[in-house]
């Protein structure tokens, strides 16, 4: 029984993800998708069937952003494509931004928010390949005054 427990312990250690405390944990091109549900809404009204009035309700707006980002494994991230990056905030396509890794969280620094400041972009790394590179990450983008964008990134 003791040998079985020791063998099981070694197997668990071998399957544990590599330490994600370096920029090398993000390396390669990742496809990302983000969604933002806005508190601002448009009002939609419809006539009541009997013609005695209207029924109105608010529809929240939803924005979906897709794209690709390349991490060089050394602290530099470049957005290659972005479906809604139109120069009013967000990443500049082709520009290299720095990123840092602490534990299982990476932060991309210096991405403009369109209000003269920067967005806070955090990636929570999930599964890792045998080389210790994250293959998936959850993304949270917060921007002062706006609703956050949430989504995921997957290594190509």
How do residues 91-136 score in pLDDT, each as one tens digit? 889 999 999 999 999 999 999 887 788 888 999 998 899 999 999 9
DSSP string, the chain: -HHHHHHHHHHHHHHSPPP--SGGGSEEEEEEEEEEEEEEEEEEEEE-TTSS-EEEEEEEEEEEEEEEEEEESSSEEEEEEETT--SSSSPPTT-EEEEEEETTEEEE---B-SSSSB-EEEEEE--B-TTS-BSEEEEEEE-TTSPPEEEEEEE-
**Which position has the higher pLDDT, 86 or 47?**
47
pTM of the model: 0.74
Q: Highest mean pLDDT range out of 55-64, 66-75, 146-155?
A: 66-75
- List the chain domain ranges: 16-37+67-155
User: What per-residue confidence (pLDDT) applies to 144?
Assistant: 57
Q: What is the rounded average pLDDT of the residues 63-77?
A: 94
């Amino acid at each position: 029984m003791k040998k079985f427990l020791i063998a099981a312990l070694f197997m668990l250690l071998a399957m544990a993800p590599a330490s994600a405390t370096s920029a090398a944990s993000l390396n390669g091109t990742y496809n990302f998708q983000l969604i933002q549900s806005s508190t601002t809404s448009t009002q939609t009204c419809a006539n009541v069937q009997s013609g005695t009035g209207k029924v109105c309700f608010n529809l929240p707006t939803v924005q979906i952003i897709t794209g690709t980002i390349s991490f060089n494994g050394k602290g530099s991230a470049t957005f290659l494509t972005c479906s809604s990056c139109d120069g009013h905030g967000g990443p500049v396509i082709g520009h290299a931004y720095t990123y840092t890794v602490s534990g299982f969280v990476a932060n991309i620094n210096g991405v403009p928010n369109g209000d003269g400041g920067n967005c806070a972009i955090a990636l929570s790394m999930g599964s890792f390949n045998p080389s210790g590179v994250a293959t998936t990450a959850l993304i949270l983008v917060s921007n002062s005054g706006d609703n956050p964008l949430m989504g995921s990134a997957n290594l190509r």
